[in-house]
Structure 1
């Protein structure tokens, strides 16, 4: 366990709580009120899902962006709840697609209940997110959220269609992660800026900040799937390999390997098993594929920070800058 990384993460979390903690609580209250129901089974599922919702990165991005752009208002609290609902819905559906039993050491909805419940509860979250977004006076947020959700679903569908494609290109890989991960980060930042009445130029810059940050996060996740610690990740390592998802480290490995090794690696990727996973990992180390992917994540983080230059100096801007480093240095 890397205690220095854990300490840095704890310090960053403390700064976030100090800056927007009260606003995150208001957003959580809106989230809970929107999903309030008299149906016991839905209450049980909601309570269960709240245990693996994670870092609240997207609502945090929306609120920090709003604060850095001039101030947080009620619209931001509502939209922070909206983007977290959408993200949670994608998690619930992802667990069905991946046939996952646990997320963050907690049983998934599909393993605790069943697939039908997971699909319907994910849909329930999606519909509530749009209902909540429509409560704002302007239809702008609904349009932007709708467009982004379409892109997220396209990214997920594309990833499924490419499973088992060992020849997946980097270009195609980045199309997938831009949709399934980066898009919701991007719209979170752009909505934070828009509802603080930023200029179009500032909104565009912050949208790009969120997109670059999202890509950095996803590449880091791909690396952690290979090199992380199972006790911290809350899941088994190598899940992308077993599901035949070609991620950036694996794509880079094929690019960098000598022809004879490339043929062996292709065979291992084509027949995922615990034995072949053990055989594959030394090649990742030998060809420094992890280091290559980590460098690309670092480049995205640097690009993200550059987009913050248009904002005035503030505590929230500093935290956003630190988030770019957290994205690529975290241990889980």
Structure 2
């Protein structure tokens, strides 16, 4: 498969906002691209998601309701559904698969907030901030198992593909955790991590959408590669936001990467561009932390033009994603998929 590659306050007891009569349209607006061609399909995916968790509302009502704050852009289900529409048509099986992908994504967010000790997600307290780490871990596990149960209602191939992608996601997350504190991390190491933790799931959405719409293996591979490159571009942009964004705009806790000595692309580039003595001082500063860390790092990033470097890499992946769409006939959905690639590197949250 051709692609561009590089050398976790007080307990929350309130109930989530009332049912949204048009959740898809609002999600699409937040994401930037207009997902109108698959709006009804995304709404059906949301219904499957909610119906699957409905049996748990009795004992865990506020907790299940709080998950609404974790479901914002609907990017992954939209990607799967747009891919299906671009090569054929959306079938009921796509609704089930899209709900499973959104459950996997939500599970990773719940677990990530525990790992990052985050307190804010989409302008609301995280699950771990309200219920603690133990509940968060078990909730994420439950979402994973429900996702696998959903794919088991499709067929064995869907289970196999989903199993492979969750293996890659978990391996990427594990690699990231074990590399925390490694201030000698390379760009190649970074791309290996994000290829698993982020790009694997968007790649899977492209593949499943195409395959279950009747696309050939060749076309499905190209749309999987589109999803992979999109995920890489998206994660680089996310890591830039953690350094240069604002919590008001992003709606989540920022600055956790540096605090936990988790190196991302701009910082890696910076450390390898500085003179050895300067790089050693910056590594010591990151290792010891303290007041002024963020400003000192930002000054170093500006000196080495490392933010610009990361933006260029994100643009490269977004461009590579768009190129994979040339296998598709011109259509409204293809145009939206192209727009999604562009939005992934221009967003503010």
Do residues 254 (structure 1) and 274 (structure 2) align? no
SS at match of 2:90: coil
Aligned twin of 1:282 = 299
Cα contact 1:37–1:43 (8 A) shared by 2: no
Q: Which residue of structure 2 lines up, in the alignment, with residue 300 of structure 1?
A: 317
Q: CA deviation at 1:258?
A: 2.3
Aligned to 2:99: 81
* Residue number among 108, 113, 129 corresponding to 1:95 in the alignment: 113
1:267 corresponds to which of 284, 305, 311: 284
Runs of 4+ in structure 1 displaced over 4 angstroms?
11-14
Worse-superposed segment, 37-46 or 95-104: 37-46
Calculate the aligned-residue CA RMSD, in Å. 1.5
Residues 144 and 187 of structure 1 are in contact (CA less than 8 Å); yes or no, is this contact kept in structure 2?
Answer: yes
Normalising by structure 2, we get a TM-score of 0.89
**Secondary structure in 2 aligned to 1:246?**
coil
Alignment of 1:188 with 2:220, yes or no, is no
SS of alignment partner, residue 73 of structure 2: coil
Partners in 2 of 1:168 and 1:52 — Cα distance? 30
Q: For residue 329 of structure 1, what is the aligned residue in structure 2?
A: 346
Query: Do the aligned residues in 1 keep the contact of 2:121 with 2:253 (CA within 8 Å)?
Result: no
- Scaled by the length of structure 1, the TM-score of the pair is 0.94
**Quick one: which of 209, 212, 215 aligns to 1:198?**
215
In the alignment, the residues of structure 1 paired with residue 276 and residue 84 of structure 2 have an alpha-carbon distance, to the nearest angstrom, of 51
2:145 & 2:306 partners in 1: Cα distance?
Answer: 41
Does residue 168 of structure 2 align to residue 151 of structure 1? yes
**Separation (CA, whole Å) in 2 of partners of 1:12 and 1:157:** 28
Task: Give the deviation of 1:14 after TM superposition.
Answer: 6.5
* 1:210 Cα deviation after fit: 0.3
Q: Is the 8 A contact 1:12 1:319 kept in 2?
A: no
Unaligned stretches of 5+ residues in structure 2: 1-27
Cα distance in 2 between the residues matched to 1:302 and 1:94: 28
Task: State whether residues 171 and 197 of structure 2, in contact with CA within 8 Å, keep that contact through their aligned partners in structure 1.
Answer: yes
SS state at 1:330 partner: coil
1:129 and 2:147 aligned: yes
Partner Cα separation in structure 2 for residue 224 and residue 156 of structure 1: 19
| Aligned match for 1:24, one of 42, 45, 59 | 42
1:51 paired residue number = 69
Gaps of 5+ in 1: 1-8
